[in-house]
Structure 1
Amino acid sequence: MAGVSTIKRGDSRFYVDPDDGSIKVPGVTSVGSMLPKDYLMYWSAKEAAEAAVTNWDIVSELVKRDPAGATDYLKNAHRRKSRAASDLGSAAHDYFERLARGERVLDRSVHIDVKPHVRWFREFLQEVQPEFLYLEETVWSDTHKYAGSFDAIAKIDGETVILDWKTSKSIYDSVALQLSAYRYADRIILAETGESVPMPEIVGGGALHIRPEGWALHPVQCDEAVFATFQHLRGVFDWEKDGKKGVIGKPIASGGEFVTGTQRRAA
């Protein structure tokens, strides 16, 4: 396989140009993370509070022996929850890809937590009859300097659409930004050969939401207006990573015993 490699820098993922390793561009998901997500702050606080209440006997003993450890346990509660959801989502995505490629998947080999998702994906394939053109490939934008990996491009009722599989509890509107970025990329880099092919003409997007209790295919607006917003976030990404460095210079005048935050931290 000649897939596109990625690297992590801080909290961001960068894709490495397979033809020129010196060229690295941010991933679609990392650019999308520039979007404010206030709900995550409240959700993480809720998870910490629930962990304290549910495991109060354990936490109270831990506080006596290791207060710092108790703090770490509670502040990382949301990460444990999201990691478990991410693991389930990754396992489900693997089965979705195999089924979409027409591979045989034996139910007895599927983990019990993912069996409902596999069942509903099979039903989606039977009901909608998508004709898959590309699965789990990488897009690259030479124009706007980003890359990303999409789930599927398929023909449904004769129209070419880009699809994203979602196993999370809810579908967030940021999926529109994500799909627009894939849609308006310049090319697809095929994992099998490393060859680049032009993006096909895509008429729209969809999010396939699969939960243990059922499935639903949602149309997603991912047109040029949505893509324009993604481009703004691309600019914000550059600002956060490099642009804001050095914008505040050293004092050219001062008085009293003023001490900067940097000086306090150094002390």
Structure 2
Amino acid sequence: MTITSTIGAATPPATRPRRRKTTAPPTGTDRIPQPSAGWYRDKVTGTKLRRVTTILNLGSSKEALVFWSANFTAQTAIDNLPQLISSSRTRQDREEAYDWLRKAHIRRKEERGDVGTAVHKLIEAQILGTPVPADLRDDPEMKPYIDHFFGFVRDWQIDFEASEMVVGNFEEGYAGTLDYLYRSPIIASLLGVPADTLFEGDTKTGGELDVKGVYSEAGLQMAAYRGAKVCWLRDGTQIPMPRVHSTGIVLHLRPEGYRVVPVECGDEVFAAFRDVQRVAAWTSGLSKSVVGQPLQLPTVTEKVAA
């Protein structure tokens, strides 16, 4: 039943006070920033932090990658020469062959990326004692990687403290996810530091053992993580970033074996990362508005008016 006031009309909807729509602050694991489109967003403060890997992609020289791409494309052409010659007979086949060949290095990177992502998932599951993803559990391609990873843990007496941990620096505006933190009395002894020293670790699966696969960019990445001011625990709690040694360790993991590679990631390398960060800001920002449109000579009417 509707009740109508006998004193006056009801308050028009437009003049009724509106309730502010409030959103409950994030709790638990929702407080951990997640990467999206090159950024991490802190859900508590709303602050956006540039992703470390995006900074490196935008601001760091890729000379080695350029040469690798050229060499791999040339090798692919030589390995498939009869098919390419056959494909040159018609315009459509020629265009398809060209498109296939120019994307050869992209396909290779994606294949290596898929392996690297799978290996990281397997390692994280082993470190945390969580179930291995079903699609990877019985994959024969992954078995040698895991076997060598277990060998690394056993041989070097690795004691993990964190894995796949999001870290950030609000002052410098960046964030990222480091692979793991750990202690190793053997590595500490070789570096001449206390046995309980905390090290930052990273896993690389590309290249070839003792030839290539670990590049100086790894030092920039690890220096950025080491230079973080805060980190997020698994339950979403934000704590100060623990102090780690200025030498990080890259585990170069391949099907044929592994290598333990020390990488400098101290203050000097962090300063270089900050330079790269400024170049990245230039590449993604100001550089896009520096070059203007070509100037046009004024018409006769415009000259007279001037």
- TM-score, normalization: structure 1? 0.84
Matched, 1:73 2:97: no
Larger Rg: 2
Q: Which residue in 2 is equivalent to 1:32? A: 56
From 74, 80, 83, give the equivalent of 1:58. Answer: 83
Gaps of 5+ in 2: 1-28, 186-195, 208-212, 299-306
How far apart, CA to CA, are the structure 1 residues paired with 2:87 and 2:232? 50
Task: Give the match for residue 123 of structure 2.
Answer: 96
Distance in 2 (CA, whole Å) between partners of 1:207 and 1:77 is 28
Instruction: State the match for 1:264 in structure 2.
Output: none
| Residue aligning to 1:227 | 270
Counterparts of 1:165 and 1:241, CA distance in 2: 28
Counterpart Cα distance in 2 of 1:180 and 1:7: 22
Aligned to 1:48: 73
The range that moved more, 200-209 or 40-49, is 40-49
Q: Residue 211 in 1 paired to residue 258 in 2? A: no
Displacement of 1:61 after TM fit?
4.0
Query: How big is the alpha-carbon RMSD for the aligned residues of Structure 1 and Structure 2?
Result: 2.3
Could you give the per-residue CA deviations for residues 9-55 of structure 1, whole angstroms, max 9, x where no partner exists? Answer: xxxx222222244x322211111122112122222122222222222
| AA matched with 1:59 | L
Shift, 1:4, TM fit:
2.4
Structure 1 distance, partners of 2:33, 2:261, is: 29
Are 1:200 and 2:200 matched, yes or no? no
Return closer, same or farther for 1:166/1:250 CA change in 2, 3 Å cut-off. closer
Taking a change above 3 Å as real, the CA distance of residues 247 and 109 of structure 1, as seen in their structure-2 partners, is closer
Deviation at 1:251, TM superposition (A): 6.3
Identity of aligned residues (%): 30
CA contact (8 A) 1:5 1:18 kept: no
Report what 1:15 is aligned to.
40
Question: For 1:250 and 1:166, how far apart are their aligned partners in 2?
Answer: 44
Q: Which runs of structure 1 show a deviation greater than 4 angstroms over 4 or more consecutive aligned residues?
A: 103-106, 249-255
Aligned to 2:273, what secondary structure does the other structure show? Answer: helix
Is the 1:44–1:78 contact (alpha carbons within 8 Å) kept by the matching residues of 2?
Answer: yes
Question: 2:74, 2:155 → 1: CA distance?
Answer: 43
Aligned length: 248
